[in-house]
Structure 1
Amino acid sequence: MADYTLEEKEGFTVLGIGTELKSDYTDYAGINKEKADFWQAVKQDGRLDKLKAISTNEYIFTVNEAVNNKMMHYAGVMTEESLPEASRLIQFPKGEYLIVKGEAETAEMLSNMLTGMAFGQVLPEATNVAYVGGPNAAVEMGQRNGLVFGEMWIPVVRK
């Protein structure tokens, strides 16, 4: 099983620019293509740079959240400010989070790897905690030795 830790976090808010994922939740190739297209668009049109400019730290959040029975995907940052382009203030609850760390060649590869490890390995095998919904995020934290590093943050409850 992939290494993970449990960490208590204060509640926090992420300002996000989002898109609805239309692929069936079991269509991983379709979902990954939609996510890749979305990230390419927010990088090319400058929306990601606008978010980064108002961020309170260096972290870039890749957030997945079910909203009104829709699968939503966001690029976000922690900030006290707002942007007209932003589509949602995403509330992360105070509580325990399952944390999976990793590094990869690109931010997209990091997000996909962390998501796969967390939901494909750690959560199915974790006997002491469960994910009960709510937003989860792959957090790009920086670069070192030519790789992007970060963590997956998933709110969990004790079983």
Structure 2
Amino acid sequence: MANYTLEEKEGFTVLGFGTELKSDYTDYAGITKEKSDFWHEVKENGILDTLKSVATNDYIFSVNEAVNNKMMHYAGVMTDATLPEATRVIEFPKGEYVVVKAEAKTADELSQTLTGLAFGQVLPELKDVAYVGGPNATVEMGQQNGLVFGEMWIPVVRK
């Protein structure tokens, strides 16, 4: 099984700029392309830099959340600030989280790797906790030895 831990986290807020994912939730290739196109756009148009300017740390969040029966995806940062460009303030609850760690050549590859490990290997194997919805995020934490490293944070409850 993939490298993971169960960690208690304080509640935190991510300020995000988002898009609705139109692909069917089972269309992994379609969702991956939509997310990649979105991230290219937020980097090119300066929105990611604007978000980073109000961040409380250097982490870059890639958040997935169901909102009003729509699959939403956000580029975000941890902050208590607000910005007119932001489309959502995402509240992550205090509680237990499955934390999956990985590294990859690019931020896109990191996000795909973490998502595959978390939802394809870790969550299906867990017996004592379950993901029951709510926002989840891949967190790009930095670079070392030419690789991007980070974690996926998924809120869970005890079964």
Shorter-chain TM band: over 0.9
Separation in structure 1 between the aligned mates of residue 32 and residue 4 of structure 2, nearest angstrom: 24
Structure 1 runs of 4+ aligned residues shifted over 2 Å read none
Q: Which runs of 5+ in 2 are unaligned?
A: none
> TM-score normalised to the size of structure 2?
0.99
Matches within 5 A, 1:1-159: 1-159=1-159
Report the 3-state secondary structure (helix = DSSP H, G, I; strand = E; otherwise coil) of the residue aligned with 2:31.
helix
Separation in structure 2 between the aligned mates of residue 131 and residue 138 of structure 1, nearest angstrom: 15
Report the 3-state secondary structure (helix = DSSP H, G, I; strand = E; otherwise coil) of the residue aligned with 1:57.
coil
**Aligned residue-pair number:** 159
Separation in structure 2 between the aligned mates of residue 41 and residue 61 of structure 1, nearest angstrom: 15
> TM-score normalised to the size of structure 1?
0.99
Q: Which runs of 5+ in 1 are unaligned?
A: none
Amino acid at match of 1:121: Q
Q: Deviations over 1:66-125 (max 9, x none)?
A: 000000000000112111110000000000000000100011100110011000000001
Deviation at 1:128, TM superposition (A): 1.3
Amino acid at match of 2:89: L
Separation in structure 2 between the aligned mates of residue 45 and residue 103 of structure 1, nearest angstrom: 26
Separation in structure 1 between the aligned mates of residue 76 and residue 138 of structure 2, nearest angstrom: 10
Separation in structure 1 between the aligned mates of residue 44 and residue 126 of structure 2, nearest angstrom: 39
The sequence identity of aligned pairs, in percent, is 78
